[in-house]
Amino acid sequence: MRFVTGLVAACAISVLSVPAQAQELDLTITDPDEIAAQCGGDAVAGRELFDNCTACHQIGVDAEHTTGPHLQEMFGRTIASVEGFDYSDLLLQAGAQGTIWERETLHAYLSDPVSLFPGYAVEHPVVAAQQDRNDLLTFLRTHTLPPPPAIGEVEVPEAVLAMEGDLAYGEFLSFECAGCHQGAWDAGGTGVNGWPRDGMITILFEYRARARTNAQMQLAVARMSDEEIVSLAEYFAQAQ
């Protein structure tokens, strides 16, 4: 076992050492390979490590609190924010500061909880090796994604719809689509030329949010920025 178990010593001052404003997390990434690259680990190895966590934590859509809070949808979640679990005052203080669970905070917590929460005095296993933490977080990030929204529930920000697309860049991006989508749009086939601009933007956002389930499209759109989506939609709206 690569977990080191022991009681974490207490410190005198309760000040969170990782500021909330320094944290970044892209929750739009859902592709397992991209998650593995971002987290630097192996989800299969992480699954084995998670076996050491199951006495206190559950994951999955039906996860419940046990000794510890459930970890479903934990990435990007404000610390101590899940209803129904009795958090310590120290964790509630961290949550009130707006600190979230993401890569930096999770690495700090798993390697040395006191480094993240001075004053923390809870018995918690420590994952000493960085690669083990990478593997564990890769598994958790991959297997605790929130359920996808339904088609029609994805809202495109008004700022995105107001963007002006780059037609030349949209044409460049369109070559990747040509293998599957050719001809004029007819609302029922695979043709995309002349497809209404805002409608295509909405559909591409739905693929990126996993509301639409075609795996190839999900993968393609997951890597696209808002600007690229708008440019592609702008191009096809004007294509003959």
Helix (H) or strand (E) holding 127: strand 126-127
pTM: 0.64
Rounded to whole angstroms, the Cα distance separating 109 from 113 reads: 4
pLDDT in tens, 29-48: 788 888 898 899 999 999 99
Q: Look at residues 143, 177, 210 and tell me which one is the last residue of a structural domain.
A: 143
pLDDT in tens, 112-128: 998 888 888 888 889 99
The range of the structural domain enclosing residue 129 comes to 3-143
Nearest in space to 101 (alpha carbons), one of 65, 68, 66, 140: 140
pLDDT in tens, 69-114: 999 999 989 999 999 999 999 999 999 999 999 889 999 999 999 8
Tokens of 189: 């086939």
Nearest in space to 82 (alpha carbons), one of 105, 106, 59: 59
Tell me, yes or no, whether 153 lies in a domain: no
Nearest in space to 162 (alpha carbons), one of 227, 235, 232: 227
Question: Do 139 and 162 fall within a single domain?
Answer: no
Which residue is it, tokens 């999770």?
A: 106
Tell me, yes or no, whether 150 lies in a domain: no
